[in-house]
Amino acid sequence: MKTEIVSGEDREALARAGGIIRDGGLVVFPTETVYGLGADALSDEAVAKIYAAKGRPSDNPLITHITDPAEAEKYCFTDKRYYALAEAFMPGPITVIMKSRGVVCKTVSAGLPTVSLRIPSHPVARDFIKECGRPIAAPSANLSGKPSPTKLLHVREDMEGKVGMIIDGGECGVGVESTIVKLCEDGSAVLLRPGAVTVEMLREVSGLGNIRIADAVLGKLREGQRPESPGMAYRHYAPRAPLALIEGDDGARLDYCRRMCAEDIHTLIICYNGEEKAFPAGMVAPIGPENDREEQARRLFSILRDSDDRGVSRIFAPLPDSGGVGLALLNRMLRAAAYRIIRV
Ligand code: TXA
Ligand code: MG
């Protein structure tokens, strides 16, 4: 298939994108978190193409994207908790899971009785969804298992030739996927995936009650325990080379990394800005200032994906702490590292 690549500022192209979606096709579009691979959320046939293009297991449900919080009434059984979240964070990097009304097609929910809804804030995402005139099912626009794409180059690597159109919106500002909150029917709320809307921010929302962090967020599942979100069960975000996270003070971490570089010149070191001088140029990737977790989140996936093209044999990175957006970073990095932590 020939994939048309267009600028998000091209209004005519966005109108054509709407046509592709209404005809049952696929369009990649930018959001404030990561790029999304969109299809008509009301069509099982269109949504099936998303699973095929990504190689995604069919039991892993998709997020439905809309532009106005009130539209949720059509698709879900909402309540006060949803509107409290909408008031605080929408449009923005948060997804809310609620009981389905059965309007969004079955393939989107992968057989679950729930629907996950998100209202992106990215102006191009909003214009695109409005042009489509229907809700848009969209996972991250990567092949299943790879880190989510945050820039055009990475989208093209995974999706060119498989979709009708890719809309370029430059680099994504947040860099990790949305925070996912499930509103349970017993009145409780669970954080299934941490993101730029942090647990600390969620706990400030009155009317939401006490929010529990799902065990799978930090990989604390017991043997045989099923995660609360199907996607948490899959290998994810993994670069080709094995990644290990280093726990310890900065000096000990840098010493350890220097030793690893000396042992194997193909070792890639992810470090904080200012530390790169300790390592051979070309095999070091500064992820941002040590105290700027937002910047680190923005850069993480891009660094992991680029490592695939660099002939890297192994990767070491600092273990982030879990405050604020740090929890989202920690969650993604633990999974990318298959939970390998080295204490120094
Ligand atoms: O920021 C984002 O959320 C991006 C952009 C494109 O909006 N989308 C995204 O989608 O990250 P995806 O498919 O890569 O991740 C969605 C996650 C999966 O782990 C899936 O299992 C979970 O959300 N999920 C979706 N619907 C669910 C549901 N009804 N119940 C439980 N988990 C659900
Ligand atoms: Mg994904």
User: CB–CB of 148/35 below 8 Å?
Assistant: yes
According to the model, what pLDDT value does residue 69 have? Answer: 98
Tens digits of pLDDT across the chain (344 residues)? 999 999 999 999 999 999 999 999 999 999 999 999 999 999 999 999 999 999 999 999 999 999 999 999 999 999 999 999 999 999 999 999 999 999 999 999 999 999 999 999 999 999 999 999 999 999 999 999 999 999 999 999 999 999 999 999 999 999 999 999 999 999 999 999 999 999 999 999 988 988 999 999 988 777 777 777 777 665 677 889 999 999 999 999 999 999 999 999 999 999 999 999 989 888 999 999 999 999 999 999 999 999 988 889 999 999 999 999 999 999 999 999 989 999 99
pLDDT the model gives residue 210: 87
With CA atoms as reference, report the closest residue to 8 among 119, 152, 117, 135: 152
- Which ligand has the minimum distance to the alpha carbon of residue 230? 1
* Nearest residue by C-alpha to atom 6 in ligand 1: 36
Ion ligand 2: residues, CB within 5 A, are: 140
The label of the residue with tokens 């992810």 reads 270
* CA 295 to ligand 2 centroid distance, Å: 20
Is ligand 1 within 6 A of the CB of residue 96?
no
Cα-to-centroid distance, 72 and ligand 2 (Å):
22
The CA-atom distances, in angstroms, between 217 and each of 54, 195, 226 are 23, 11, 12
Check residue 56 and give its pLDDT. 95
Beta strand 189-193 with 179-183 is antiparallel
Predicted local distance difference test score (pLDDT) of residue 233:
63
Residue 299 Cβ contacting ligand 1 at under 6 Å: no
Task: Give 73's contacts (C-beta < 8 A, 6+ positions apart).
Answer: none
* The pLDDT of residue 47: 98
Tell me what pLDDT residue 126 has: 98
From the CA of 108, give the closest atom in ligand 1.
26
Q: In the chain, what's the furthest Cα-to-Cα distance?
A: 59
**How much is the pLDDT for 209?**
86
